[in-house]
């Protein structure tokens, strides 16, 4: 059985209060959701300064979310031992799009020799997933999903498949998106009303510890996600986190369920249905 043992929601400039009051009642919020998430430019307050030079906003947000999900104290992480049993699956669509655009302009104007050796590595499409793995010593499978609005749900399915296949005993499922001018413009052109920057991390295990997560085949191939017994539209309430949206929703539902609040989340993607907390909130 797959279980969720930890999670974090790291959403700078987002007021969680009204939605949490609606779901958990006044004073019923889990302590893990209290406090304000630091923006990417202040990530050093949580992670320490070492190693953050040239890291992009989405990468910094993903590191902050994972740091919090692991329950680490503020400050730099000691050089970790490599853990081949922990995999990373990241859902990120536009994490490095500003770097790619800037790099393309530089090469077009000045030639490839003008490209900064500090910036060019960030043009790799899987930079978020690999940075999280190296930062925390996760030496297992390393995947990044860039499938648009379904990225978080698709990444969840891949994480569960890794666990079921015995390729990992633990998976850090990470979602992160930036809201820099390039990313925000692309999202608005695609119809997003309120694109936001944010990240979340969910830790899944094959041991069945924590809140149970069920994944089964189904006929519904329309990607959707529902949070809470009555359903709360987090996009309408908090903004559009694009590829990270489903991971944000899953992390929120985990916190509420672990705190004894009646909440569940249902994800439908690719013919499979995943249910957290043992109750199908979407049916």
pLDDT tens digit sequence for 37-77: 999 999 999 999 999 988 999 999 999 999 999 999 999 98
Structural domain spans, the chain: 2-70+84-93+125-276
Angle ∠(146,152,156) on CA atoms, nearest 5: 115
Residues 6+ apart with CB under 8 A from 19: 232, 234, 237, 238
Quick one: tokens of 76? 């730099």
Q: Which residue, 253, 254, 249, is CA-closest to 233?
A: 249
d(CA 258, CA 5): 9
Nearest to 63 by CA among 145, 177, 174, 179: 174
Rounded CA-CA distance 279/283 in Å is 9
Alpha helices in the chain (DSSP H): 17-24, 44-47, 57-69, 97-110, 127-136, 151-164, 181-189, 234-238, 245-258
Q: Of 123, 125, 93, whose CA–CA distance to 107 is shortest? A: 123
Q: Which residue has the tokens 């990313």?
A: 183
For residue range 238-277, list pLDDT tens digits in order.
Answer: 999 999 998 998 898 888 887 777 666 766 666 566 677 6
Q: C-alpha distances in angstroms, 223 versus 51, 105, 106, 149, 263? A: 36, 36, 38, 9, 20
| Class of domain 2-70+84-93+125-276 (CATH, top level) | alpha beta
**pLDDT by residue for the chain (283 residues), tens digit each?**
899 999 999 999 888 888 888 877 777 777 778 778 999 999 999 999 999 988 999 999 999 999 999 999 999 988 788 999 999 999 999 998 988 888 888 888 888 788 787 777 788 889 999 999 999 999 999 999 999 988 998 899 899 999 999 999 999 999 999 999 999 999 999 888 899 999 999 999 998 899 888 876 654 444 455 676 666 788 888 999 999 998 998 898 888 887 777 666 766 666 566 677 654 333 3
């Amino acid at each position: 059985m797959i279980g969720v043992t930890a999670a974090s929601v790291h959403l700078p400039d987002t007021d969680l209060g009204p939605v949490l009051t609606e779901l958990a009642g006044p004073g019923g919020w889990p302590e893990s959701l209290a406090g304000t998430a630091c923006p990417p430019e202040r990530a050093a307050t949580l992670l320490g300064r070492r190693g953050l030079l040239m890291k992009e906003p989405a990468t910094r947000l993903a590191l902050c979310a994972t740091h919090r999900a692991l329950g680490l104290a503020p400050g730099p992480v000691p050089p970790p031992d490599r853990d081949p049993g922990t995999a990373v699956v990241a859902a990120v669509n536009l994490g490095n799009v500003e770097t790619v655009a800037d790099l393309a302009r530089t090469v077009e104007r000045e030639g490839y020799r003008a490209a900064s050796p500090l910036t060019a590595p960030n043009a790799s499409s899987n930079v978020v997933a690999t940075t999280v793995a190296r930062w925390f010593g996760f030496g297992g499978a390393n995947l990044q999903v860039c499938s648009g609005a379904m990225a978080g749900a698709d990444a969840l399915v891949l994480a569960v498949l890794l666990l079921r296949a015995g390729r990992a005993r633990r998976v850090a499922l990470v979602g992160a998106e930036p809201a820099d001018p390039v990313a925000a413009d692309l999202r608005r052109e695609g119809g997003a009303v309120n694109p936001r920057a944010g990240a979340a991390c969910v830790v899944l295990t094959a041991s069945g510890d924590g809140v149970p997560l069920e994944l089964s085949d189904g006929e519904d191939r329309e990607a959707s996600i529902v949070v809470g017994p009555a359903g709360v539209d987090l996009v309408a309430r908090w903004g559009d986190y694009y590829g990270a949206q489903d991971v944000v929703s899953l992390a929120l539902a985990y916190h509420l369920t672990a705190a004894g609040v009646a909440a569940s989340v249902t994800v439908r993607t690719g013919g499979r249905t995943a249910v957290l907390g043992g109750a199908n909130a979407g049916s």
